[in-house]
Structures are given as structure tokens and as C-alpha cells.
Amino acid sequence: MKIFSFVEGANPRKGGLGLVGVPWIAKSVAERGHQVVLNIAGYPNPGTEKWVQPDVRTALECKMGAGKYGIVTYPCIIQRWAFSPAMLRAYLPYIRDVDFIILHSTYSFPVLVGYLLARRFHKPYGLWPHGIFAPIQRQISGRKKKIYNGLIARAIMDNASVLFYSAKGEREEADSLNFKAPSVIVPHGLNFDDFVSLPPRGTFRSRYMAGHSGPLVLFLSRINQKKGLDILARAFALVLERLPNARLAIVGSSDPPQFEDRAMSWIKESGISDFVVMPGLLVGEDKMQAFADADVFVLPSQAENFGFAVFEAMASRIPVVISDTLDYAKEVDSHQAGISVPRNPQAFANAIVRILTDKDLHRELGQNGFSLARTYSWDKTGERVERTIECILRGEPLPPDLIMQEG
């Protein structure tokens, strides 16, 4: 199959990461013997630059596993909306031979381009919402989204051949919107080989914490409204009352950049400024060093449709403390791979202290998390996407095991 995907790139004003799973979804499908081109308006996701090609023709010939895969990027005239007219012009010579189109998220110009091409040339397409229909996400720029929904977004969703959700909870959050398109659940994966052997312990602490040897609590994610940093700041103040030698590392970039001021105000108001480090966005080996030095990973986020950092922490054998509102919280609990708690400071503080003061529990949660993370592979993601697309192209019902109690 020949598959074109469309997505907004890594925007420095939105944390600088982009939709981190998208390049890996595309790659996982290509490796199964298909030609896949990922079209990005803006910058590529950090760590994926090696797959960027100069044009569509070259991308279609780059070998990847049993197939072909390349990323093509286009400059944005308006970065905020990933507005890149060059993207539309570049694909007109190739679109007639495409079998399937995949759109990622909704509120961006690349998605509009992919939708218009699909409709103009009568191509089936699927869409990954990537959590945009969570209640808190709907509130962000809610008025503008409502207008855009009426103009075009609703049609994009309803005319899709399939909606790809990464978790059952993500689909349930969208149920009230009554989209006409059928849906499947395809979890994201993890590059597990990256976590088999972590860097030696101590590098992150030496660089950012003057070699501090006490307990280290790690938050690694975008710094924005839904992540619960106000809860974390108050929770860590309670942790310090019982474990004064503990430290907190808040790793990530602000989305938007000015949100860091609010996060800093919460830290100051909680009286923990002297016990917190904020090194900014870390990727690649630098991120791995943070995992290697952490004793507990924490994420008090309101919503995560997958939560890559949670699974990366578990793959690093770090016990996790997460909100019980996250889509995979029940699975983490059932596998005893971490502790999920209500979104309040006392609950998070109690769970953090419990793990840090019980070596047997710490070891058990870390090992169970490692085992759970291993079950999520990009190979499985690619196989499930492939089966879904093949059913659509053959005019067959979607795979029953991926529909999972739809309706």
C-alpha cells in the first residue's frame, strides 16, 4: 500500500515536541512492507531528523524494514496554524496513486490539506485525534474551535473511514460528540530497546543537582495547564515534611512558553523553590540520564490518551505515581506497575513517600512496570493499523478485536 500522512510539526510555541508518536506510527506501518510518507508542516519531531528527505519522490524510495519510509517537511508561513501552502502543491502529482491517507489531530492546516486531497481524489482516510476531544482540551481556545468545527472539522471527522483512538477512555471522551465515523483502538508503542541499558546513574544529578544523592522525584512532560503542576508543587511540599532530603526535577518545555511563569509561581507559593530543578526540554541521551537517576516518576495530569513518559518511566524500572483519571491508570494498577491516586496533593504525597520508604515495594513496582511496558511495541501498532486499512480497502468490516465493544 501507498500511504500519505499529514501532521503539524514541532512548534517551539507549543513545547517543541509535536505529536511525538506520529513518526513512529508511520514508520511501524512502513516496516511491514508499505510505502509511507509523513508530511510535516514545520519542524520534525526531535530525534526523527534522520528520516527527513528533500521531497516526496525521494521519501518514497527510502528503505525501511520491508517497506519504504520518509518524512518531508514544509516551511510554515504562519507557524501557529502550521500554514504551509507548499504542502498542497507538492502532493498534487502523487495523490492519484495513493491508497490511503492518515490525518493526525484536527486543528491544523496539514490536516485540512490531507482532507481536501482525500475528498477531491476520492481517497479513503483515517484520523487520529490524539486526545483533542478530552474535556480540558475542548476548553482551550473553545470559541475558535467551535467556529472551526462548524466550518470544517465536523465534516473531517464524520467523513473519515475510521477514527484511530489510542485508548478506550479516549474514545469514551468523544462519545458525546456522536461522530458518524467508525473507530478502532490502537495503542501506541515504545522503542523498548532504548531502555534495556540505561546510562550510568549520576550524570543528571551531577549536571543539574550538584551531585545530590537523596531521593529524586521526576516529572517529565510538557509544562502546561492540564499536567497538574499546581497539585505537584503542593504535594512535594508535603513530601519534604517527611523526607527533607528529597528533590524534585521538572523536566520539559512550557506550552505555551509563558506558562512557565505560572508554574514557577506555584513552586514559590508552595515554598519548595530550593528543592526543585527545571532543566527544560531533554531529549535523547539527556532524557535517558534523567530516567536513570530518578527514584519515582510522577504525573498528576488531568488527561493523557497514552502518556509516553509514563511508559518510558516504567521501561526504566521507575515506579510511577499517576492520576487515576489517565486512560491507562487501571492497567497500571492491575499490573501493580505503579500507583494511581486521585488528583489531590495529599494523595500524591502519600504515594510518593510510601514508595520512597519501602524498598521492597519500590523494587516490585519497578519490575512490574518494566514487564508491562514491554507489552507495548510499535510492531503491534503497525500490524493493527495495517489490518484496519486493509479491511477498509477491501470493503470489509473493521477488525472486531480492535473495535472493542464499540457502541
Q: What residues in the chain have per-residue pLDDT under 70?
A: 12-18, 80, 135, 137-142, 145, 148-149, 151, 404-407
Bridging pattern class, strands 162-165 and 247-251: unpaired
pLDDT, residue 407, reads 35
Convert the pLDDT of each residue in 269-285 to its tens digit: 999 999 999 999 998 89
pLDDT, residue 405, reads 44
Find cell 544529578 and name the residue: 205
pLDDT, residue 153, reads 84
pLDDT, residue 138, reads 66
CA 300 to CA 337: how far, in whole Å?
16
**Residue 284: in which H helix or E strand, if any?**
helix 284-293
pLDDT, residue 406, reads 41
Is the pTM here over 0.85, yes or no? yes
pLDDT above 90 as % of the chain: 71
Cβ–Cβ < 8 Å for 139, 156: no
Give strand pairing partners of 8.
Answer: 41
Over its C-alpha atoms, the chain yields an Rg (Å, rounded) of 21
CA 183 to CA 133: how far, in whole Å?
14
Question: 321: closest CA among 195, 232, 212, 243?
Answer: 232
pLDDT, residue 141, reads 65
Catalogue all structural domains in the chain, each as residue range(s) with its CATH number.
Answer: 2-189+377-403 (3.40.50.2000), 192-373 (3.40.50.2000)
Mean pLDDT, all residues of the chain: 91
pLDDT, residue 12, reads 66
pLDDT, residue 79, reads 72
